[in-house]
Chains A and B, each alone.
Chain A
Amino acid sequence: MTQGVQILFWIIVFPGFLFTVFLGLLVSWVVRKVSALVQYRVGPRLYQPFVDILKLMGKEILIPRDAHLALFVAAPVAGLSGVLLLSTMLWRISIAPSTEFVGDIIVAIYLMVLPSLALILGSSASASPHAAVGTSREMKLIMSYELPLVMAFIVVIIKTAGLVEPNHQLNLAAIAGHAPILSISGMTAFLVSLLCIQAKLGFVPFDLAEAETELGSGVLMEYSGALLAVWKVVQAMMLVTLPLLLVMVFLGGFGTKGWSVVWGIAKYLLIVVILILIKNTNPRVRIDQAMRFFWLYCGSALVIAIILATVGNYYGIRWL
């Protein structure tokens, strides 16, 4: 019984829903504020993202006449549950590593796709031509960045496999104890996965699924009121979770004791600031450009990284 309550508390209050939503909205303020400062503007007030969500909660929910009602309403909830599980899992591994299984790198890869998949379902259920174009772009974008992202994780697995003690399983908590970024292959994998995260968050060079100026917010076009608020919350939570995953996989984890908390926050903010700067200095790419970029350039860079990591592992060269 008490364990059940404990798990519910984890999911709903502390590392899960409330905490991550609060942090995510705060970080989305940071994104807007830094973007404003880059453009020599003042930018929004600190509570702006919170007010936006509150306002959307009070608005009318419009369902398009031709939409598939159940799918249209269920999709945001499915996306929210996916990112909620992912964030709870990652925080749980960072805060209280334990022997019991809470999920690992494969589960993380699987849960990361869920919000995008739900977005595809929801927008294709809305029966809007603009959303349909956005949906097809989102689908192609997922196909483009999933492969490099998985390959980047493979590099990390190869790099850290030799560092784990015998009779110990390689898992996220073990990976988080090392920093594979301090090697050529790890650095390459980190840079590529940073770009994949950029695409997953729908940030500017890869925001072609939303594409405000040409598709009128594309995949989210038909959502209004509370359903749109759920999507905004999902995006805010992704903004916390995905950089956290990168910190755990590449930068040596998010410590919870003493100064390592500050160090962890610094690593997290570093990733967020890089994402914001890429967002503010690039134009939107076309979908064919994005696919070519991820498969041809990122893919071949990662093949080289995998070879380097394997060679380095075989001969015991740590920096390769």
Chain B
Amino acid sequence: MGWKTWSLKRSPWVFHVNAGACNNCDIEIVDLLTPKFDVERFGIKLVGSPRHADALLVTGVGTKQAAIRLREIYRQTAKPCVVFCIGACACGTGIFQGGYHVAGPVDQIIKEVDPNAIIAYVPGCPPKPEAMISGVVKALSVL
């Protein structure tokens, strides 16, 4: 394991992208930063710009309008980065499957930009904060 991966695992800064979510997963993501879970213990920090981010937390189905922005944000993220699909919608469009406004699950949208993107899935409607921490830890351990 090189120093790049070693330090990346100990300091993953996350950027939150809402790609047409109902706000439920977003609330749970904000929960992560509260004193109860305190992810700063692991060096996880919410940043305001995709250029600072090491991980994108994507929520929502990826609507036709959001898909364009999602691709742009992925291009703007400094590589290496990991994409997390948070919630049932982001993982596989959930109850909106086949909807007229759906551009596809998030992983498909990301793979249009970069076929080798590292994508992790945290299912649930919404996933519990504990599940998200577990997902982040598992994704980082395979890096």
Contact = CB atoms under 8 A, between A and B. Distances in A.
Interface of A: 32, 36, 39-45, 48, 51-52, 54-55, 58-62, 212-213, 215-217, 220-225, 228
B100 interface: no
Contact of A45 (B38, B41, B48): B41
Interface string B1-38: 00110011011000000000000000000000001001
B40 A44 contact: yes
Contact of B8 (A40, A58, A215): A58
A214 B98 CA distance: 35
Contact of B49 (A32, A40, A60, A217): A217
Interface of B: 3-4, 7-8, 10-11, 35, 38, 40-41, 43, 47-49, 51-52, 54, 76, 78-80
A252 to B, nearest CB: 36
A55 B54 contact: yes
B41 A220 contact: no
A255 to B, nearest CB: 35
B73 to A, nearest CB: 11
A170 B4 CA distance: 50
Contact of A225 (B3, B40, B41, B78): B78
Contacts of A228: 51-52
27 contacts: A41-B38, A42-B41, A43-B41, A44-B41, A45-B41, A51-B10, A51-B11, A52-B43, A54-B3, A55-B4, A55-B8, A58-B8, A59-B79, A60-B78, A60-B80, A62-B51, A62-B78, A215-B48, A216-B49, A217-B47, A217-B48, A220-B52, A222-B49, A222-B51, A224-B78, A225-B78, A228-B52
Contacts, number: 78
A48 B43 contact: yes
B40 A43 contact: yes
B41 to A, nearest CB: 5
A232 to B, nearest CB: 10
A54 B49 CA distance: 19
B78 A212 contact: no
A216 B35 CA distance: 22
Residue from A54, A59, A228 whose CB has the most chain B CB atoms within 10 Å: A59
B7 A41 contact: no
